[in-house]
Amino acid sequence: MKFKRHLQRYLHKVRFPLVALAPISLMALGWSSLVEESKVLENNTVSIYQQAQLEVVRGAARSASLYVEQQLEQNPEAALADIEQELLEKFVAPLGVGELGDAWIYAPTHVVFDRSEDFPEAYRGKSMAEIFAMQRINGASHYEDMTASVMAAQEGVDWYIWEPQKAMGSTAWWEPFTQDAGREIAAWTPVEVFSGTEAEQTWTIGISAMLPELMRANGTYGQIQSSIGVMLGLSGLAGSMIWLLWRSECNRRDRNQEIHRLAYADMLTGLANRRQMYAVGDRILADVDRCEDLALIYLDLNGFKDVNDSLGHDLGDSLLIEVGRRLKDCLRQQDLVARLGGDEFAILLHPRSLDDAKVVAERMLQRLRHPFHLKGKSILIGASLGIAPVKGAVRGLNFSQLLTQADIAMYQAKQQGSDAVVVFGEEMQHAAIARLNLEMDLRQAIPSGELRLHYQPIFPLSDVEETTVPQAFEALVRWQHPQRGLLWPQDFLPEAENIGQLIDIDRWVMLQACQTLAQWQPDLDDDNPLGIHVNLSRISLAQPDLVPFVQGLLIRYELQPHRLTLEILEETIIDEAPILEENLHALRALGVRLSLDDFGTGYSSLSYLHRLPIHGIKIDRSFVSHMQDSRENEEIIRSIVALAQSLGLETVAEGIEFDKQLSHLKALKCTYAQGRLLSDGVDREAARAMVLEGALGS
């Protein structure tokens, strides 16, 4: 309005001939403004997308680095070329943005990966130094800085043009207004791979996108074309020119709002993204004068990975979109729901009380329990929710801390089972810290030599009262924690599975047990069946390299295979993964004995017993410990023994603590006995003494 008043005052004062020049002057001013506005829109597009690109490649670099470390920790002998290919497929190739651009990886020595259609053929197979030299010769100085940055493995953003003629063809006829010249904007970041190996090197992961295509996709080109049409149609009218400027300003604001939306919205669900949730949360928590009560809900879907794996990622994406809609339906206008990533959501509430927040959480669970009907399929899915409440006027709390509290509560809910809601308490924080400390200590347990093996004898029941010679020993792992003392398996093995250490522990136990067998074997006659039982988890049984690993131990220590018995939990056999049964048959072919542990706990099936190549079953200790209290338990044991005898299988009763239990089991004709009544677990030297005593006695 101020500009309009100045213009009216000017036109009133000037003479008629000068007034005639006013529309021309206004048109000149309008075209100039349009050019500047176009450049601003272009710069905004570049700035927003390059920042988004940089965050994407940073995330990919972190994920790739962690993935390589995990693979090398789990299998130091892994082929680096295979891991490199997995990195390209898992963390780089998915970064491509369709028709807008592609992803690439450069090392100082060579081009690792580049699928860009316009990638110069002359550059393939060349080192970065050669590519840099070719650029200098061809006078392509506009991306020298970018190439030098990539060669030095530095992070950055820039632009470049591989094929100028092709690039010019992708721009609009009004290209002089934007001066984009068919540029591709890029962002890149370094990542160290194969650290600690001979192949250690630094890569630079980058993604690029055609600027004209981005400007076309976000509507910038459409706005410019529209503005030009209006300018041409109203070129003789000063009033129309003023209206055009006003419209251009409105469009500029709309475009900025759209760019802002793209930066702060989840592209799949349309919900707020992590960045927006953090921005809103920090702003509210910082405004302590409002004294607002808040509650943050952290929601994680249960079973979403199974949906993705079995029905495909497209249907999984559709499910996430529908979940977002249902969550929004449960909220009020002032509440905010965001998708943090994957199948995790955060909901920032303004509840009247903590009970109000619980009601909202239960309402969400209720909505998510209803089947999702997607693409002709009915899908049931649950969720685990953690609530972190905060009273108004709380100072010093930032949103990241609040989100951590909600995440801890969600983890507790997930531990309780499906469809649970847990409210955060300080004791959870302490428990989470203790669990984190346990995880950190557990990762060092094997390298620091803190794990121990105890050997519990297994005696033949037929002559257990006449002899103390064991038939076998079960290898039991213990952890000699530096501060907490000796820990039993139930104190650390579940956490080891959570952090991916269980396979390492299983293989450490097998290695130690085979070393012990190698010490005993020279003192044993061929007709002496004494051996060692080793527990094998389901995750270890599912490893493709399990059989070669066991075979390598047998060859390395020159062991008779029948002296090694691997015990698998009965619940493992309900998983019909082909690799499990293949590994069991392959282990049997090696001559290793197999036993089914904790038999009778609810998963038993005659079809499994007939199909699996097992030698014996271990009666679960719960039946043994209660056989004096319940005749039903004794009958169950009698049935298990009879079933095993009919199938030619040995039976081991574990957990024997009383003489009466021993005599009952002997009367039931159970094959072997194990428990504290007969012997606790002993160290290697004590076990060796028992072996020598038995060998000399025989």
Residues 92 and 233 in one domain: yes
Residue 2 domain-assigned (yes or no): no
Q: Which residues of the chain have pLDDT under 50?
A: 10-20, 241
Burial class (CB in 10 A: 0-12, 13-18, 19+), 630: exposed
**Residue 106 β-bridge partners:** 111, 204
**Tokens 């004062």 sit at which residue?**
13
Query: Does an H or E element contain 210, and which?
Result: strand 201-210
Contact call for residues 83 and 186 (beta carbons, < 8 A): no
Cα torsion through 398, 58, 338, 400, rounded to 10: -10
Residue 379 pairs in a beta bridge with 372
pLDDT at 459: 92
CATH number of residue 71's parent domain: 3.30.450.20
Q: How far, in Å, are 78, 196, 503 from residue 73 at the CA level?
A: 10, 11, 11
Q: What is the pLDDT of residue 360?
A: 92
Are the beta carbons of 134 and 124 closer than 8 angstroms?
no
According to DSSP, the residues that pair with 565 across neighbouring strands are 533, 593
Q: Check whether residue 441 and residue 397 sit in a common domain.
A: no
Report the distance separating Cα 363 and Cα 421, nearest Å: 11
SS3 label, residue 200 = coil
Domain closes at, from 389, 424, 459: 424
- Cα–Cα distance, 486 to 477 (Å, whole number): 10
Domain-embedded: residue 431: no
Count of C-beta atoms within a 10 Å radius of residue 526? 6
- Both tokens of 273, joined, read 């993204």
In-domain check, residue 477: yes
Same domain, 392 and 454: no
**Per 3-state DSSP, what percentage of the chain is helix, strand, and coil (rounded to 5)?**
55, 20, 25
Q: Are residues 689 and 554 in the same domain?
A: yes
Q: What's the CA dihedral at 631, 635, 640, 641 to 10 degrees?
A: 100
Task: Compute the Cα dihedral for 132, 136, 138, 142 and give only its sign.
Answer: positive
Exposure string over 561-598, b if 16+ CB within 10 A, otherwise e: bebbbbbbbbebbeeeeeebbebbebbbeeebbbbbbb
Dihedral over alpha carbons 568, 569, 571, 576 (to 10 degrees): -10
How far is it, in rounded angstroms, from Cα 178 to Cα 511?
68
- DSSP secondary structure string, 572-591? GGG---HHHHHHHHHHHHHT
> pTM of the entire structure?
0.49
SS3 453: strand
Please indicate, yes or no, if residue 392 is contained in any of the structural domains: yes
Chain CA centroid to CA 331, Å: 29
CA-CA-CA-CA torsion sign (483, 485, 486, 488): negative
* Consecutive H or E run containing 104: strand 101-106
Return the structure tokens found at 139: 């006078």
550 plus 404 within the same structural domain: no
Angle between helices 22-74 and 80-87 (to 10 degrees): 150
Handedness of CA 546, 547, 551, 554 (dihedral sign): positive
Determine the Cα–Cα distance for residues 503 and 508; give it in Å rounded to an integer: 9
Instruction: Measure the CA–CA gap between 74 and 66, rounded to whole angstroms.
Output: 12
Please name which of 205, 202, 207, 254 lies closest in space to residue 226, comparing C-alpha atoms.
254
Same domain, 214 and 290: no
Q: Six-digit token pair at 251?
A: 């469009």
Rounded CA separation 215/37 (Å): 13
The DSSP letter of residue 265 is: B
In the block, residue with structure tokens 């649970």: 420
Domain that holds residue 213: 23-264
How many angstroms separate the CA atoms of 551 and 510, rounded? 11
Query: How far apart are alpha carbons 620 and 601 in whole angstroms?
Result: 7
DSSP H or E stretch at residue 230: helix 220-233
Return d(Cα 476, Cα 137) in angstroms, integer. Answer: 69
Per-residue DSSP letter, 78: S
Query: Does residue 1 lie within any of the structural domains?
Result: no
User: Are 278 and 176 part of one and the same domain?
Assistant: no
Same domain for 243 and 278, yes or no, is no
Is 9 part of a structural domain of the chain? Answer: no
Cβ atoms of 666 and 461 within 8 Å: the answer is yes
Neighbours of 55 (CB within 10 A): 14
> Based on the domain organization, do 222 and 284 belong to the same domain?
no
pLDDT at 16: 40
**Of the candidates 104, 97, 106, 120, which has an alpha carbon nearest to the alpha carbon of residue 210?**
97
Three state DSSP letters for 387-449: EEEECCCCCCCCHHHHHHHHHHHHHHHHHHCCCEEEECCHHHHHHHHHHHHHHHHHHCCCCCC
The CATH number of the domain holding residue 322 is 3.30.70.270
Contacts of 639 (CB under 8 A, 6+ apart): none
- Angle between helix axes 546-556 and 578-590 (nearest 10 degrees) is 20
Question: Is 90 within a domain?
Answer: yes
Q: Verify that 43 and 180 share a domain, yes or no.
A: yes
Q: What's the structural domain count of the chain?
A: 3
Where does a domain end: 246, 264, 282? 264
Residue ending a domain, among 244, 264, 284, is 264
Say whether both 651 and 547 belong to one domain. yes
Per the structure block, which two tokens stand in for 651?
Answer: 């039976």
Residue 126 located in a structural domain:
yes
The span from the CA of 619 to the CA of 653, in Å, is 5
Q: Does 182 share its domain with 286?
A: no
CATH number at residue 568: 3.20.20.450
